[in-house]
């Protein structure tokens, strides 16, 4: 199968490598011509996957029209802020009816749409799916065992895409609950910032465990309010992705939180990273969704106040010392 992956970041490049090793004719689109040249000539992407050798058969291009025309399956791994605009640019050159798979974990800030909803809006008639789960790029590139989920309402389509992605130690499951899978993938980044702050402040593993647990309850509450299924959030797209993102030093969102916990300015952190931490943008949309559904979501709201500069990271964790009694564990707060 001819497969195009849009986005040559760490995860997009990893997915393109996996697909190439499955003997698919994979083409990756890089925004930077120099990145495309490096992939083609040196079979590497040192900015995002330092030290890893990419498959020789993996081709790259900086020509978006060429990338779109190549695809019998389109995989989109660009940041959520560029997701809609990128789809609009490829629409003219894309073959009809081919499936479009989102790798991007977040929410569109203005519309509050999930990425598969953006696909359906910009590319009507194309089956839309999301690939999500605890998928740290460098571990998959290193051949370590991992599990992921392909989510789409049509399980016939999901099964077909599952066969495309499955390879070696990467175990691919299907799920019909696209809402639950995408909300879990988006909101876990916000909780990872909170967990990172705990790490930066040195408040202890008990505190981090509490934040992760209550964060899971929080994103489950929102997913269910939006029409998702609670069981989804107990699986790979919820708890699995949340744990990986909150505990791994490879997590960009955890890194942002950790640096905030050490007293650094958000603008400085993001400038130094040179990569997107989706939780910083997602938290704005998440707060608006919480308002729409009448949900408390205290962790999300607190991180929003930190990101907007309303309170410091240290003050945010002072909220753990509130004197009013906690309610039942199934309740928010």
Determine if residue 129 is labeled as part of a ligand binding site. Answer: no
Kindly give, in sequence order, each residue whose CB lies less than 8 Å from that of residue 42, ignoring residues fewer than 6 positions away. Answer: none
241 annotated to a ligand binding site? yes
Tell whether residue 120 is among the known ligand binding residues: no
Which DSSP string do the residues of 67-106 spell out, in sequence order?
HHHH-SEEEE-S-HHHHHHHHHHHGGGSPTT--EEE---S
Q: Residue 295: what are its φ and ψ, rounded to 5°?
A: -105, 145
Q: Flag whether 317 is marked binding.
A: no
Please indicate if the annotation marks 81 as binding a ligand.
no
SS3 content of the chain, % helix, strand, coil (to 5): 55, 10, 35
Neighbours of 47 (CB within 10 A): 16
Q: Is 160 annotated as a binding residue?
A: no
Which position among 42, 120, 138, 188 bears the catalytic label?
188
Q: Is 10 marked as binding a ligand?
A: yes
Nearest-CA neighbor of 255 among 314, 184, 188, 200? 200
**Does 9 belong to an annotated binding site?**
yes
Contact call for residues 307 and 283 (beta carbons, < 8 A): yes
Whether residue 42 lies in the annotated active site: no
* Tokens encoding 322: 């509130």
With beta carbons less than 8 A apart as the criterion, state whether 157 and 73 touch.
Answer: no
- Is 228 a known ligand-binding residue? no
251 is in an annotated binding site: yes
Q: Is 278 known to sit in a ligand binding site?
A: yes
**Residue 253 annotated as lining a ligand binding site:** yes
188 is in an annotated binding site: yes
* C-alpha pair distances (Å), 221 with each of 17, 286, 298: 36, 12, 12
- Residue labelled with tokens 């402040």: 201
User: Residue positions in the annotated binding site for NADPH?
Assistant: 10-11, 31, 48, 105, 137, 252, 276, 278
Catalogue the active-site residues. 188
User: Residue positions in the annotated binding site for substrate?
Assistant: 105, 252-253
User: Residue positions in the annotated binding site for sn-glycerol 3-phosphate?
Assistant: 105, 133, 188, 241, 251-253
User: Residue positions in the annotated binding site for NAD(+)?
Assistant: 7-12, 137, 252
User: Residue positions in the annotated binding site?
Assistant: 7-12, 31, 48, 105, 133, 137, 188, 241, 251-253, 276, 278
């Amino acid at each position: 199968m001819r497969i195009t992956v849009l986005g040559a970041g760490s995860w997009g490049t990893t997915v393109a490598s996996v697909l190439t090793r499955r003997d698919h004719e994979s083409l990756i689109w890089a925004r930077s011509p120099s990145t495309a040249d490096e992939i083609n000539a040196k079979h590497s992407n040192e900015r995002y996957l330092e030290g890893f050798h990419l498959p020789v058969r993996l081709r790259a291009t900086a020509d978006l029209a060429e990338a779109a025309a190549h695809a019998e399956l389109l995989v989109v791994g660009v940041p959520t802020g560029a997701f809609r605009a990128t789809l609009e640019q490829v629409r003219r050159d894309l073959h009809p009816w081919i499936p479009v798979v989102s790798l991007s974990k977040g929410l569109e800030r203005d519309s509050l749409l999930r990425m598969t909803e953006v696909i359906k809006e910009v590319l009507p008639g194309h089956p839309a799916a999301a690939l999500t789960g605890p998928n740290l790029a460098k571990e998959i590139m290193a051949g370590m065992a991992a599990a992921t989920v392909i989510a789409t309402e049509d399980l016939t389509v999901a099964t077909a895409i599952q066969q495309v992605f499955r390879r070696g130690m990467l175990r691919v499951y299907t799920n019909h609950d696209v809402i639950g899978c995408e909300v879990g993938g988006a909101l876990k980044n916000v909780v990872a910032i909170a967990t990172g702050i705990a790490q930066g402040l040195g408040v202890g593993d008990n505190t981090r465990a509490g934040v992760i647990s209550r964060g899971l309850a929080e994103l489950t509450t929102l997913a269910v309010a939006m029409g998702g299924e609670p069981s989804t959030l107990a699986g790979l797209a919820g708890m699995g992705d949340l744990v990986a993102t909150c505990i791994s030093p490879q997590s960009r969102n955890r890194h942002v939180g950790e640096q905030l916990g050490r007293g650094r300015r958000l603008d400085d952190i993001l400038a130094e990273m040179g990569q997107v931490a989706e939780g910083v943008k997602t938290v704005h949309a998440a707060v608006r969704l919480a308002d729409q559904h009448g949900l408390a979501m205290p962790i999300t709201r607190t991180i929003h106040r930190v990101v907007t500069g309303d309170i410091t990271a240290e003050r945010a964790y002072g909220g753990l010392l509130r004197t009013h009694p906690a309610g039942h564990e199934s309740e928010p707060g």
